[in-house]
Chain A
Amino acid sequence: MEKFVLAKVYVNQAIDYEHRFLTLHCPGLLDDFHPGQFVSIRCNNGGFDPLLRRPFSIAYVDYNEKTIGILYRIIGRGTLWLSKRYPGEYVDLLGPLGKGFQLPSSGVHNIAVVGRGTGIASLLALSKLAITKGYKCYAYFSFSSKVLGEWILNNFKMFFEKVIISTDDRIIISDILANDLRNQYIQVSKIYVCGSKRLILGVRNICSKYHIPAEVSIETFMGCGVGLCKGCAVRLRSGTYAYACIDGPVFDVEEVEI
């Protein structure tokens, strides 16, 4: 179950001018964590501006140090506030929230993760779990920032059997995965995606062509993060709505309308 905690800032590392990797000490929050889940951080000093908490995927969990890592981009007032937190300060955090990814229960012990920008955060946590369970993990990441791409490669390449990183906006990274599957360079039993619309649609096409299941982590505005406000509606292909905070943020890629 989720908990309210005051999490101590260990490091708030600047990767480039707009990307940060925040490490928070939050013992007591890690026992229930599953990759794909998120935390909700109050991005003010106890006031009401910005008003709502901001959701962040958990990118990394260190059970020895009892820390979590959050990869974020400074895009608004909330993330700007967060970027100015220094080691030793505390942030008001609620989590872990939502439903996470499910590793494949049958087929080859290989998975592919496909992501763009900070959307790769939850895929990093999933990849770490996957390798500890004996899965091979193939990563297809794209970034607009070369510096971020290099930083991810330097810090997380140990999770992956193979990593392809593109910083060229003309390349759709899911096309490279499609090519690898077509040529049978790799075999996977499940694909996980988080990022742009075209990336998610690319993965959906791969899934129907090769009959591989896939899960997508949806990024959307959120209100409460716990299902009270019904603000984070995600339209399903069935015509109904689900809520990213409690029904997701992870959904079957065939289920959601992109």
Chain B
Amino acid sequence: MTSNYVKLGVEIAGVKFKAPLLPASGTFGVGIEVKDVQFLNQLPGLVIKTLFLNPRPGNPPPRLYETPCGLLNSVGIPSEGYDVFIEKYEAFLSSLNIPIIISIGGETVEDFVNLACLVQQHKFVSALEINVSCPNIRRGKRFDDSIADLRELLAALRANVHKPLFVKLSPRTEIIDRVSVVAEYGGDAVVIANTWTGMAIDVYRKRPVFANIYGGLSGPAIKPLTLALVWQVAETTKLPIIASGGITRGIDVLEYLMAGASICQVGTANLINYTSILKIEQELVNLMRDMKIKDVVEIIGAARRE
């Protein structure tokens, strides 16, 4: 094992991950698409594509638009709904030996709470990621746009959910206020951050490329932006930070950890190569050996220390 020389393990809210890397929700489906259970069991964990209580078709095509070093998506979270999801995937997910985080979405507080209560009953679920930040549902309007809505949601979730809650926020300058709400209402970690809102225009048709107008920008293009957010959030909160934004290499993970993140999510890189996480993990190990870092926990926030 590569980790003989360096310790990669991290723990968030009692969930143990053997390395500080996870796939980002929406870029790894349910995992079953990869068809290779042996490979999946080598991952430090799995974050399932956002699940809704009821089936949703997702947005009409086109759903993707490539930008320089980035990807705009307007996928719109197609979901089979809870009942079909459990029927189709429970046996598969239960057969894996890694922590499984289910990302959940909803359009109302009631939707979120009902789904969270159903999801948390399943043994294979280690934690819930609360997706309050998808820009692709209501013409760019996100659940965490309103602090009052976020407060109401988290209060209701915490009152009903005993499994760890990781709250995935939208990138924005006022993110600190949202992080405070998550801390105040008992969230166990924040995911910084979802995709950045962007758009593209088809000049020949004189119309936005996406039917929903806006899309979410991801990929290496956004890494400096999200890194700055992680830095700002780490300054003001003691909550563990799960960083997500343009991670494609081991050195990106080190940057995010040094800025204050405890664990990183790899998203768009999975679409180029679904084995990216293992490659990034190996690069991280090599870097840590070169830099004589013995334990990944040592470097969390290292760039902030005086």
Contact = CB atoms under 8 A, between A and B. Distances in A.
Contact of A240 (B34, B57, B248, B270): B57
Given A48-B220, A231-B73, A226 B274 contact: yes
Contacts of A235: 60-61
B222 to A, nearest CB: 12
Interface stretch (B25-33, B103-111, B164-172): B25-33
A228 B68 CA distance: 22
A1 B37 CA distance: 13
Interface in B254-274: 268, 270-274
Contacts of A50: 66
Given A240-B57, A241-B78, A221 B71 contact: no
A233 B61 contact: yes
Specify which of A222, A223, A226, A229 lies most central, judged by the most chain B CB atoms within 10 Å of its CB.
A229
B58 interface: yes
B27 A228 contact: yes
Contacts, number: 94
Interface residues of B, number: 36
A224 interface: yes
Nearest to B275: A4
Contacts of B198: none
Given A1-B35, A51-B272, A246-B33, A223 B61 contact: no
17 contacts: A4-B273, A48-B220, A49-B69, A51-B268, A223-B64, A224-B271, A226-B34, A226-B274, A227-B29, A228-B29, A228-B34, A229-B26, A229-B27, A231-B63, A231-B73, A240-B57, A246-B33
Across the A-B interface, give the 9 residue pairs with the lowest CB-CB distance, nearest first: A227-B33, A224-B271, A231-B64, A228-B29, A233-B61, A48-B220, A223-B271, A231-B63, A49-B69
Interface of A: 1, 4, 42, 48-53, 94, 220-224, 226-235, 240-241, 246
